[in-house]
Amino acid sequence: MDIILPVAGFGSRLRPHTWSKPKPLVTVAGKAMLAHVLDRVMSLQPGKIVFITGYLGDQIEAWARANYPDTELVFVQQPEMLGQSDALYRTREFVTGDGLMIFPDALFEADFSQLESLDLDGVAYTYYVDDPSAYGVALQNEEGFVSKIVEKPDQPISHEAVIGIYYFREWQALMRAIEEQFEKKIMLKGEYFIADAINLMLAAGARFTINQISVWEDCGNVEALLDTNRYLLGAEPPSPAQRPGSLIVPPSFVHRDAVLEDAVIGPYASIGAGTVVRNSVIRDSIVEENSEVVDAILQRSMVGSKVVIQGSARSISVGDNGKVAL
């Protein structure tokens, strides 16, 4: 099985943090968002991981090669933002068997064990939502198979929101459906969406089932990312060593190379490598690597890399290389 990761987007809702780094490399609970996603699939022993890159793609390639040196990695570019199907079609020469496709803009807990013995054409992973009007949803027929994927329905015709994780037993079958989608110009607002390609597969007789996951944590904006940070720290509590003269309140992540002086960290705080926190309190916040926080109280804040914060109590969001006096 190959893993396919579309990571070409701009991450506009996470600005200013994504001006200088791609969204999948933004840190949450002490790791890049992309590392948390890969942690959940590496047990599948993928044949290769295919990254579809675009904006700041060189950073993703450098990060992946440094962190997964023993895994076959493939990088393909999506030069224009023409939609999900356009991105996936660029993998057609590299994935010849089955493939698990994940949009890595959310954290999840999913059971992939059934894929080894699956005798269907695919799986759409879903999450139960009370109000489906903001999501694409999977409809099921009487046999329990997916009959159609409907984007943002006006009526609650299904509560099974599709979350951007799909398994295809034959990746090339998806490629053929995308070719049909291109030929028929099935687009929305100038983009090709994977839901339309899957609907073409379903109309041709493909059998897909759903697999409802138990946890789905969005990372689309700063508030959602901070909520995901809370979830991860609570679900997998780190055990950072206490530092003399400072207090670490669990659950929190403090990198071993961070420096604390007269600081209170946590609960639900993540402090990156090389960051210095002096005479400050940081709660429910993320501070990335090589930053400095002095004489400040931060709550529900997101601070990028190489940032200097000095001042009083505040909730802030500052991208890389910033300097803020409060």
The reply to whether 58 and 141 lie within a common domain is yes
* pTM assigned to the model: 0.89
Look up the domain containing 155 and give its range: 2-218
Q: Which pLDDT band, with edges at 50, 70 and 90, does 320 fall under?
A: low
Of the listed ranges 100-104, 133-137, 235-239, 312-316, the least confidently predicted one is 312-316
Residue 312 located in a structural domain: yes
Q: Are residues 256 and 159 part of one domain? A: no
What pLDDT is stored for residue 234 in this prediction? Answer: 92
Dist. CA 154–CA 137, nearest whole Å: 11
Q: Residue 232: inside a domain, yes or no?
A: no
Tokens of 301: 């804040």
233 in a domain, yes or no?
no
pLDDT at 272 over 60: yes
- Rounded mean pLDDT of the chain? 90
Q: Which residue did the predictor score with more confidence, 4 or 236?
A: 4
pLDDT at 220 over 90: no
Structure-token pair, residue 258? 């961070």
pLDDT band of residue 290 (cuts 50, 70, 90) is very high
- Split at pLDDT 50, 70, 90, the class of 169 is very high
What is the per-residue DSSP string for 150-194?
EES-SS-S--EEEEEEEEESSHHHHHHHHHHHHHHT--BTTBB-H
Mean pLDDT on 60-80: 95
Q: Identify the band that residue 324 occupies on the pLDDT scale cut at 50, 70 and 90.
A: low
Q: How far is CA 287 from the centre of its chain?
A: 19
Q: Which residue has the tokens 């991981």?
A: 49
Question: Among 26-35, 55-64, 215-224, 255-264, which stretch is predicted with the lowest mean pLDDT?
Answer: 215-224
Q: Which of these three, 167, 187, 218, is where a domain ends?
A: 218
pLDDT recorded at residue 322: 55
Q: Which of 44, 47, 54 is nearest to 96 (CA)?
A: 47
Q: What domain count does the chain have?
A: 2
Q: What is the CATH number of the domain that holds 298?
A: 2.160.10.10
* 172 and 274 in a common domain: no
Q: Is residue 234 part of a domain?
A: no
Q: Are residues 96 and 175 in the same domain?
A: yes
Higher-scoring residue by pLDDT: 323, 57: 57
Which CATH number do you get for residue 211?
Answer: 3.90.550.10
* Pair (247, 203) in one structural domain: no
Mean pLDDT of 242-269: 95
208 domain-assigned: yes
- Does residue 14 carry a pLDDT above 80? no
Residue 148's pLDDT is: 93
Chain centroid, CA 3 distance in Å: 14
In the predicted model, is pLDDT for residue 18 greater than 80? no
d(CA 219, CA 217): 7
Question: Are 191 and 267 part of one and the same domain?
Answer: no
Q: Does 13 map to a domain?
A: yes
One domain, residues 125 and 174? yes
Which of 9-13, 83-87, 142-146, 289-293 shows the lowest per-residue confidence on average (mean pLDDT)? 9-13
Q: Kindly indicate the confidence band of residue 189, based on its pLDDT and cuts at 50, 70 and 90.
A: confident
Residue 241 pLDDT class (50, 70, 90 cuts): confident
pLDDT tier at 48 (50, 70, 90 boundaries)? very high
Tokens read off for 236 = 């997998």
Kindly state whether residues 195 and 254 are assigned to the same domain: no
Structure confidence at residue 314 (pLDDT) = 60
- Based on the fold, state whether residues 139 and 259 are members of the same structural domain: no
Q: Within a domain: residue 229? A: no
Q: What does the pLDDT look like over 111-141, one tens digit per residue? A: 898 888 888 999 999 999 888 888 889 999 9
Q: 138-161 pLDDT, tens per residue?
A: 999 989 899 999 888 888 888 888
Residues 196, 313 share a domain: no
Q: Let me know if residue 231 belongs to a domain.
A: no
Q: Are 290 and 165 within one domain?
A: no
Cα separation, 258 vs 10, in Å, equals: 29
